[in-house]
A and B are shown apart, each in its own frame.
Chain A
Amino acid sequence: MARAGYLALGIFIIGCLWEAAIAIFALPPFILPPLASIGGAIWSEFPFLMRGLRATLTVAGAGYAVGAVAAILLALSMVLVPTIERVVKPVIVAINSVPVVAYAPLCLVWFGMGPASKIAMVILAAGFTVFVNALQGLQSVDAAGVNLLRSFGAGPFRIAWMLRLPAALPAIITGLRVAVVRSMIIAIVAEMLGAYEGLGRIIYESTQQIEFLTLWAAIIVASTASMIAYGILVVIDRRLVWWK
């Protein structure tokens, strides 16, 4: 709860600085519009923004879920069968050594302008983040603990289930948390590069049409949604990893 208080305080200070900057430097609205008029824009265009948000959340959520599950399964398979790690891991690292956005044109060609191309990019971005954390967590399990279970006659699957997964949970959830924000960013950027709908599309179009109030309104809606999603993951983290 204290964290929510600090967050509110932070937002309040930024708001004050914002308004002060407009007053002191006499900034015109297209550089920095007053907060009240952004609030007005959010209010008047609320249904439009929410449609955009829904499209963006669908892309981000679907890509996030698929990417996260795939990443955890992949990391698990690598721990169980080290050969998979040796073969597949370099490929994954190579793909991700280029910013995901660089694949946007290819994705658009392969999967079209609809949600599929955006989802593919989010899967790649979110999946990689979760994968790196999950693999690190699953592998950095205390060897003595593994040996203890082996001495009881446990095989690799049982050890993964009883020891590695729970021990890796904090790392996995850290990955899941970071991936939430990344998913939103990639979804929005992908929409800006080519989409029929979504907050990214709104940001792109309103810039083209010099509608800065709509632009700011879309940005604020996007960041609020990201923060809420992140907050939910923080709560889940505390529930799931109670022993830390």
Chain B
Amino acid sequence: MAGSALDRVETDKPYEALAVTGKAEASAGSPIIELAQLTKTFDSSGQKVVAIEGVDLAVRPGEFVTLVGPSGCGKSTLFNIVSGLLDADTGGKIHFKGEERQGKELLGTVSFMPQRDLLLPWRRVIDNAVIALEVEGMRRKEAREKAQVMFQEFGLAGFERHYPHQLSGGMRQRVALMRTFLFERDLMLLDEPFGALDALTRVMMQRWLLGIWQRHRRSILFITHDVDEAIFLGDRVVVMTARPGRIKLSREIDLPRPRDPHVTTTPEFLAIKADLMEAIEEESMKSFMSQDERG
């Protein structure tokens, strides 16, 4: 909990933070989080499933890391461990801002957006957005004022007093993102935030997320199934292997920022994509075959 004075300044005034101008900024400083040899074995009624195995991964301050891998390779499991919801097997280590943390000690230190939006149907949009602030003990009135200024930026102006069932899928996803942003932590974990959206909405949301990220300067670890999305968003793309999930490769994406959507059709982009696709397809095939054997 004892963040340095510098951290506080950053998190208290997200709007005054300067735009992250690219990799020079992102690569500065020691990693915000560092995972070493993380393994997780599930033991459900005697049947052992190794979800992830020997995962090493570090995220630098301000860095946007995207994580791709076949379905069931343990991406969500990794997030659950990093957010403190699951204990990793003994032997692995997690360093958060230089300090070793494990299991429950991590609860409340990173801002986690699960695969589903999990909005509470009985709360208005604004009261859903401030839920983390309420958990932190802020008065609801104060929390609402803090959230109110973000509605414009999140494209939700005018919907503060609506209920979640009155929103479209893309809007619900933005509310969930806003909830995650309002829980001001330096590391954000986003688990397939745009997975359920149609292609067009998705592209809009990606551009919008990049804009927000550049203004708010948080480190982001972002899970996706979509290679285009991974490259377009990330400073670095990390590919995981089929289960048990290991880190297969990690590739810096040196496309200039701010990125224009047309970047996805440039030769540089396509070259990176071809590289990554090869690795990903190999793993998807493995995961597909192993499902075949079982079925």
Please say whether chains A and B are actual partners in one complex.
Answer: yes
- A66 within 8 A of partner (CB): no
A144 at the interface (CB under 8 A from B): yes
Q: Which residue of A lies closest to B133 (CB)?
A: A152
Interface size class of B (residues with CB under 8 A): 20 to 34
Contact with A along B111-152 (1 / 0, CB 8 A): 110101010111000000001101110000000000000000
How many interface residues does chain A have, given as a range? 10 to 19
Contact count A vs B, C-beta below 8 Å: 51
A151 touches B112 (CB 8 A): yes
Q: Which residue of B lies closest to A242 (CB)?
A: B122
Of B107, B120, B165, B183, the residue contacting A150 (CB under 8 A) is: B107
Asked whether any CB of chain A lies closer than 8 Å to the CB of B80, the reply is yes
Residue B70 interfacial (CB < 8 Å):
no
Across the interface, name the chain A residue whose C-beta is closest to B85: A147
Tell me whether A142 is interfacial, beta carbon within 8 Å: yes
Contact with B along A233-244 (1 / 0, CB 8 A): 000000000110
A151 to B80, CA, bound (A): 9
Interface pair A144/B84, CB less than 8 Å apart: no
**Contact yes or no, B118 A152, CB < 8 A:** no
Cβ B108 vs Cβ A153 within 8 A? yes
For the complex, is A148 an interface residue (Cβ under 8 Å from B)?
yes
Within 8 Å of chain B (Cβ to Cβ): is A54? no
Known contacts being A152-B183, A166-B122, is A144 close to B135, with CB within 8 Å? Answer: no
Docked CA distance A48–B121 (Å): 49
Nearest to A149 among chain B residues (CB) is: B135
Cβ-based interface call for B269 (8 A): no
Q: Which residues of chain A are near B132, meaning CB under 8 Å?
A: 152
Do B121 and A158 have beta carbons less than 8 Å apart? Answer: no
23 sampled A-B residue pairs with Cβ under 8 A: A142-B118, A144-B114, A145-B118, A147-B85, A148-B112, A148-B114, A149-B135, A150-B84, A150-B107, A151-B84, A151-B107, A152-B131, A152-B135, A152-B136, A152-B183, A153-B107, A153-B135, A153-B136, A154-B135, A162-B134, A166-B122, A169-B122, A242-B122
Q: Which residues of B contact A (CB under 8 A)?
A: 80, 83-85, 107-108, 110-112, 114, 116, 118, 120-122, 131-132, 134-136, 163, 165, 183
- Of all A-B residue pairs in the complex, the 3 with the closest CB atoms, nearest first, are A153-B108, A243-B121, A152-B132
